[in-house]
Amino acid sequence: MKDKTTEIFRDAPVPKAVLTNIIPSIISMIMVLLYNLADTFFIGQTKDALMVAAVSIATPVFLIFMAVGMLFGIGGTSLISRLLGEGRGDKAKNTSAFCFWTGIIIGILSMVAIWIFVKPVCLAVGASRDTLEYTMEYLNIVAVGIPFLIVGNTFSNVIRSEGKANVAMAGMIVGNLLNIVLDPIMILVLGWNVAGAAVATVIGNVCAAIFYIVHLVSQKSMLSIKLKDYRVRNGIATGVLAIGIPASLNSILMSVSNIIINNVMVSYGDMAVAGLGVAMKVNMICVMLLIGVGTGIQPLLGYCFGARNKKRYISVLRFSLCLAFCMSLVMTLVCYLGAGPLVTAFLDNPKAYDYGMSFARIYILSGPVLGLLFVFINAIQSTGAALPSLILSISRQGLLYIPTLMIMSNVVRTARGAALAQPVTDYLATAFSAVLFLVTYKKYFRGMDGEESR
């Protein structure tokens, strides 16, 4: 590996190594957060709560395609970081080329599928008679950027595996900052409303993808997207998919759970759907920063695991858990106290505001444990432990959340009762992730003596 990457992953003091990796990751997540908030904020300035509801309804569909990028991004990062730790640079190039070209093909097929089935998709995710046209308009335009969205989400992760966290961060900043700048111009100045938000999103995704492609074809990258380096066999496809599928399943199930709760909230009216969408945005302030901690340490943990350095792996994990818990407490307080001004910024309708405030305060109850949850998730993924990753992924937003949502919505029989399902699930998922990590640790670290294998 290159000297700088080796120094950070292998030789730098643990606090420096962790912070060097998580700070760019957190900044990247902040940019994703600002982009998500910007769309809803500027649509909210139209004073049309139905448009806010439509963008919220379309979000789960968008998340599904982000999940495809996560499949190749998280799966590719886990495998590549371990390969680099083992000194197998050529196979790492084959892996990155596999992630790029397979993602492009899936993106093109998905784009066409959305155009063909846009109306039934919108109805399935909870669009009502009043929000259907807005939701269809948004998704038809966003579909153009799906191949670029997948490439951007893939390599914002994969590039970190070669120790280029700053490059990964820069690409996220380019795409999301452009989106944020274009949102008010296209939504308010040009008066394109929902279509303007969609066009800004597409342009941001295209520019981010181009940024990463330029880096990957340069001499500065150890990775490759050349077609000649594309390989499926020799454990590449299975290595990526073994971790990528569980990681993407978590996002897909998150989309499914959002679709389900949107359909639950529709029974309370479109203002409840708008309020829930805004509450989720407020909660994302806490969630995205803590996801940044988890994803930031995964390449570092993966390298330590590949190099068979148990002692350093544990030191990195221990420091990361302490840092994540402290950040969780701070962000919970910030989001709880700041819920009022944040919801006001997005919603003008009094009824929608009441729902938004109530839901935001409920969702942030998860805050204190979310950092621990994301660190454990990424620690498991860093070892290449496919089965524990799969179990955890289908549990949080699937096996745990959906039954909890059904129980809470039927027992409490209020919109607020349905919203409570998320924090209850997150506490259960955190406890479960800690247990799964201990099982993974005992199995995958068996035989290591705590010293680095040369």
Q: What is the pLDDT of residues 32-67, one digit of tens each?
A: 778 777 777 888 788 777 888 888 788 778 778 888
Taking Cα atoms as reference points, which of 149, 137, 113 lies closest to residue 51?
A: 137
Report for 142-146, 242-246, 291-295: range of highest mean pLDDT: 142-146
Q: What is the pTM (predicted TM-score) of this model? A: 0.73
Does residue 118 carry a pLDDT above 70?
yes
Q: How confident is the prediction for the chain on average, in pLDDT?
A: 86
Give whole-number Cα distances, 192 to 48, 132, 133, 296, 421, in Å: 13, 17, 14, 37, 36
Q: What is the per-residue pLDDT for 141?
A: 94
Does residue 106 carry a pLDDT above 90?
yes
Q: Tell me the residue length of the chain.
A: 454
Of 109-118, 341-350, 361-370, 377-386, the one with minimum mean pLDDT is: 341-350
Q: What is the pLDDT of residues 395-426, one digit of tens each?
A: 877 788 888 888 887 887 788 888 898 999 99
Q: What is the per-residue pLDDT for 117?
A: 93
Of 81-85, 297-301, 416-420, 448-452, the one with minimum mean pLDDT is: 448-452
Residue with tokens 């350093």: 312
Give whole-number Cα distances, 347 to 1, 49, 353, in Å: 51, 7, 6
C-alpha 386/C-alpha 401 separation (Å) is 21
Q: What is the pLDDT of residues 363-393, one digit of tens each?
A: 999 999 999 999 998 899 888 887 887 888 7
Q: What percentage of the chain carries pLDDT values higher than 90?
A: 35
Confidence band, pLDDT 50/70/90 cuts, at residue 447: low
Q: What is the per-residue pLDDT for 450?
A: 46
Does residue 139 carry a pLDDT above 50?
yes
Q: At what angle do helices 270-306 and 310-337 cross, to 10 degrees?
A: 160
Spatial CB neighbours of 160, under 8 Å, sequence gap ≥ 6? 21, 24, 25, 77, 168, 295, 296, 298, 299
Taking Cα atoms as reference points, which of 125, 115, 112 lies closest to residue 64?
A: 125
Q: What is the pLDDT of residues 179-201, one digit of tens each?
A: 899 999 999 899 898 899 899 99
Taking Cα atoms as reference points, which of 350, 415, 302, 252 lies closest to residue 49?
A: 350
Q: Which two tokens stand for residue 191?
A: 């008066």
Region of residue 234 (phi > 0: left; psi between -120 and 50: alpha; otherwise: beta): left
Q: What is the per-residue pLDDT for 453?
A: 38
Residue with tokens 């993602």: 103
